[in-house]
Amino acid sequence: MPCEITLDMARAIWKGSISFGLVNIPIALYPATRREELKFRLLRKSDLSPVNYKRVAEKDGREVPWDQIVKGYEYEKGKYVVLKDEDFQRVDLEATQTVDIQDFVNQEEIDPMFFYKPYYLEPQKGADKAYALLRDALKDSGKVGIAKVVIKTRQYLAGVKPEDSALVLELMHFADELADTGKLNVPKKTEVGKREMNMAKSLIDSMSSKWDPENYRDEYREALMEVIEEKVEAGGKEIEEKPKRAPKPTKVIDLVSVLQKSLEQTGTKKKATTKSRRKQKQPAKKAA
């Protein structure tokens, strides 16, 4: 679904260039997502005085000032080696300000599990033509540029992908960062009856619709905000607890009957939703 991209960030978090072959495109990196976290403070119960975090040494429980703190790597249990700023600088990573594309790969070949954090790439002065050329070439070919990029003090694997009129840099996991599913206790191969399979497919079909991200909201956050607002209006006093919904049954006894019931409920729900949408689309009658 086309969407208008607006960058409301005050400044780019990283500036550099995209490089592949002899092509070099100056770009700036902006976050492509935002997470509206509800922030809470720890308070003392008796007078609601904020409780601050302190940097305390495990050995003697004393607070440690910032100028006495160093970074250490635990190479054995209880044994550390200290790393200074110079040690980090000694790690000579090439192209530290470059999104260095190493391969172009068909997007459909990449498991979505590898992608995890997107950023928008904005062309800098004089880079519009090269930027548009790469974006449109990726769209037409269905390819993703697989790159390495250093952000702050870490090197990432990343994919360069077209998204509407923009290019997106999406950080990726390296292969050894994904856990092996072979260690999970999951059914390898289970015989499923033809009737159950047909009903399961029918249920999936009946619940299928076009992807629209606007249909999904963070209901937990909204409900929590309602509770907060109620407590603010009540002056911080306890509010009456609403009756809880009965928990859904977790034990499936008869798979066929459960699938059949789900199909019936989904059909009724879909009819009601369609009827409601039709009413909303009908133009209001003019008053006499």
- Which pLDDT tens digit goes with each residue over 182-198? 777 777 777 778 888 88
pLDDT of residue 95: 45
Task: Report the alpha-carbon distance of residue 25 to residue 21 in Å, rounded.
Answer: 11
For residue 132, the model assigns a pLDDT of: 94
Section 153-180 average pLDDT: 90
The more confidently predicted of residues 276 and 104 is: 104
Domains and CATH numbers, the chain: 14-34+91-177 (2.40.290.10)
| Mean pLDDT of the residues in the chain | 80
- Spatial CB neighbours of 134, under 8 Å, sequence gap ≥ 6: 18, 20, 23, 25, 145, 160, 167
pLDDT at 110 over 90: yes
pLDDT above 60: residue 94? no
pLDDT number for residue 157: 94
pLDDT exceeds cutoff 80 at 284: no
**Tens digit of pLDDT for each residue in 56-75?**
888 888 889 888 998 888 88
Q: How confident is the model at residue 279 (pLDDT cuts 50, 70, 90)?
A: low
- Please give the residue that has the higher pLDDT: either 21 or 143: 143
The pLDDT of residue 286 is above 80: no
Min mean pLDDT across 13-17, 95-99, 170-174, 175-179 is at 95-99
